[in-house]
A and B are shown apart, each in its own frame.
Chain A
Amino acid sequence: MFTFVLKRLAYTIILLAIVSLTIFFIFDLIPVDPARLVCSKQCTPSLVEANRQRLGLDVSVLEQWWRFIVGLFAGRTFGEEGIAITCAAPALGYSFSRHECVTTIVAEAFPFTLSLALGAFVLWLSVGISLGVLSARKKGKFADRAASVFVLVGTSLPTFITGILVVLFIVLRFNLVNPLELGNWHNPFTEPLGWLQTFFFPCATLALAYAATYTRFTRSNVIETSSEDFIRTARAKGLSEKVILRKHTLRAALAPITTIAGLDFAGLLGGAIITEGIFGLNGLGRLSIKAVTQTYDLPIIVATTLIASAFVLIMNLIVDIAYAYIDPRVRTT
């Protein structure tokens, strides 16, 4: 088990290096020159070159990448002595549009994204799994049909529709949340109510589509597992239906859900662009979409892309380790 984790960890690090290098090469191909963008209106070629050097873009892509990697661990200084800016490790670069270290910007945005992702994750897992189990147990009955309506609505309504409806009715019409408070940060530990006000509706909006998918997935898995031979064995032992469902059926039916749940969660940690946009949450998704479409802030784009892929890779590793604990057949192979 230990060597398995160690091996997977090594793979993850190598993959992250390759991903980051690729991102650097892709951004080198983009026909936007950051050195020109940060130049004032009276721009001269010598000023552009000076900017280029200050931003660390005067060297080859490989060299840029290497400096980035070193900066991650050792911190980094941009510019010459007089106007030098130092970003402490882990330095993700320097944003020329916001004149701030990218790490600082990301650290401000991440709590929004984490709150949104975690809240939605908890909501959709609890709703999806319990509805799925209920509908499998009551197959063909009223509860099952009601759940299938929910699945249909949830999967067919895109987030940008449900999000706007939620904002329109719940926030603006019924004034459940002060519109001026929308998107304000509250520390969940010191002001849990304020945090809930900011995040409950965005989380619910984001969770809806996922909950619908997970309901359907759980339902079909529970039904399929219920017809397995080992469930008949459990019944032949004399176990009650409650124990059979809770211990035998759910354990086998929910194992595959671990994998997709981990990956879905990881995907959201990179930023939920639409939900963040609708509810005015300054998370990673909003940060990167702004950097891509408005400010062409390459260091921010590099950082957010890398963070998103790092989450996916790390979550993959965690899911693999978790799965080995859940399914003993994976452990020995």
Chain B
Amino acid sequence: MSKFLEVTNLNVTFPTQDGEVRASNEVSYSVDLGETLAIVGESGSGKSVSNLAVMGLHNPTRTKITGSAVLNLANGPVDVISASAETVRRLRGKAMSMIFQDPMSALHPFFTIGDQIAEGWHLYNKGSKKDGIKKATEMLEIVGIPDASSRVHDYPHQFSGGMRQRAMIAMALVNNPSLLIADEPTTALDVTVQSQILKLLKDLQKEFNMAIILITHDLGVVAEVADRICVMYGGRIVENGTVDDIFYRPEHPYTLGLLNSVPRISDGQSHRLRAIPGQPPSLISLPSGCAFQPRCEYSSKVTSGACNSTVPSLSDKGSGHLSRCHLDVADLNNLVKDKA
């Protein structure tokens, strides 16, 4: 059974004067309709780059993309990586849609919100200008903008940050896409607004039966909405599992590090926040072994020294929970217990 989107061995490299930047390295993930996949990682881990490749939004003259990203549409599968630019353009907005981090700069300042939403609708639907605005008003009502019929004529600068992101969502969903890629949709927003937007996305997912890919560095956001999680580091996926897998049974030291650097108040005890020491790797010259090895506190426990020499494979150690570490899961758990 194939899922709606299947990304396999996706490589995205940017040739620069200093060398090739391997922003996305043998990345594979999949997401089905009605499912939410969260891709978590720090800046430069390759999470946005991979998904911009799926949307076909990279500049083809400045990017090298290999691998495949297959959309299993009703009328047959399409690999958006090998398909022509025109084919992919006709999938954008309808089969797949994207919302971005900063809703202020992502909306055109000179056009009304209604015009910008209607513009996408007119691409795939026949109708008058009036019909477009009517549809835009409808969409604004769906995403919870009060007094939508008059706000539809407003310009982006007349909207607050949260409302702008709602308008962005309305714009992305106007053609009822099967896949929505949300690139840090709440990062630029107030905490109170963040959870409203997440709830909205969740509700709309149920209503439209969409596949959602949520790109974020915020584990709190992930816990709220995701079904599956991919953790990315240095352009590679280092762990892939369900929310419970990642939060309660992490198998990769980087995931552990991420979880430790989030404050927890749930168990009533006070913990010291433990930051991951060191800096993320340069994507031009990745370490020859595991990309996380220079920052990993457990790499010395792997006696074979494999961490320095070979990139660990992304292996399934049971029940579809994948991780990319030379250390055995049981050993890792014991080491963690010893520390605590």
> A-side interface residues toward B, CB under 8 Å?
228-230, 232-240, 248, 251-252, 255, 326-329, 332
**Distance (Å) between the CB of B126 and the closest chain A CB?**
16
Q: Is the CB of A332 within 8 A of B57?
A: no
Task: Taking A233-B168, A255-B110, A328-B109 as given, write out 4 further A-B residue pairs in contact, using a Cβ cutoff of 8 Å, ordered by the A residue number.
Answer: A230-B109, A236-B98, A238-B124, A327-B109
* A229 CA / B108 CA spacing, docked (Å): 9
Q: Is the CB of A237 within 8 A of B110?
A: no
Q: Is the CB of A326 within 8 A of B120?
A: no
With contact pairs A236-B55, A236-B97, A240-B89 given, residues A329 and B109 touching in the complex (Cβ less than 8 Å): yes
Q: Is the CB of A232 within 8 A of B157?
A: no
Q: Is the CB of A237 within 8 A of B120?
A: yes
Q: Is the CB of A328 within 8 A of B155?
A: yes
Cβ of B100 < 8 Å from any Cβ of A? yes
Interface residues in B200-220 by Cβ distance below 8 A to A read none
Q: Is the CB of B106 within 8 A of A233?
A: yes
Cβ of B81 < 8 Å from any Cβ of A? no
Q: Is the CB of A230 within 8 A of B57?
A: no
Residues of A with C-beta under 8 A to B324: none
Residues of B with C-beta under 8 A to A332: 157-158
With contact pairs A238-B92, A251-B110 given, residues A228 and B119 touching in the complex (Cβ less than 8 Å): no
Chain B 81-107 interface 0/1 with A at a Cβ cutoff of 8 Å (1 = within): 000000001111110011010100111
Residues of A with C-beta under 8 A to B155: 328-329
Interface residues in B265-316 by Cβ distance below 8 A to A read none
* A99 CA / B147 CA spacing, docked (Å): 70
Q: Is the CB of A238 within 8 A of B94?
A: yes
With contact pairs A236-B93, A327-B110, A329-B155 given, residues A230 and B105 touching in the complex (Cβ less than 8 Å): yes
Name A237's contact: one of B93, B105, B109, B112 (CB within 8 Å): B93
Residues of B with C-beta under 8 A to A252: 108-110
With contact pairs A235-B57, A238-B89, A240-B89 given, residues A229 and B102 touching in the complex (Cβ less than 8 Å): yes
Name B92's contact: one of A228, A236, A326, A329 (CB within 8 Å): A236
Q: Is the CB of B57 within 8 A of A236?
A: yes
Q: Is the CB of A229 within 8 A of B100?
A: yes
Residues of A with C-beta under 8 A to B123: 237-239
* A332 CA / B55 CA spacing, docked (Å): 36
Residues of A with C-beta under 8 A to B23: none
Most buried by A among B90, B91, B93, B124: B93
Residues of A with C-beta under 8 A to B90: 238
With contact pairs A232-B57, A238-B89 given, residues A329 and B106 touching in the complex (Cβ less than 8 Å): no
Cβ of B163 < 8 Å from any Cβ of A? no
Q: Is the CB of B105 within 8 A of A229?
A: yes
Residues of B with C-beta under 8 A to A229: 100, 102, 105-106
* A129 CA / B92 CA spacing, docked (Å): 30
**Distance (Å) between the CB of A237 and the closest chain B CB?**
4
**Distance (Å) between the CB of B204 and the closest chain A CB?**
17
Residues of B with C-beta under 8 A to A237: 92-93, 97, 119-120, 123, 171
A-B residue pairs in contact (CB < 8 Å), sample of 5: A230-B107, A230-B108, A252-B110, A327-B109, A332-B158
Q: Is the CB of B108 within 8 A of A234?
A: yes
* A197 CA / B94 CA spacing, docked (Å): 56
Residues of A with C-beta under 8 A to B107: 230, 233
Q: Is the CB of B106 within 8 A of A230?
A: yes
Residues of A with C-beta under 8 A to B55: 236
* A229 CA / B102 CA spacing, docked (Å): 8
* A240 CA / B89 CA spacing, docked (Å): 7
Q: Is the CB of A232 within 8 A of B110?
A: no
Most buried by A among B108, B119, B120, B171: B108
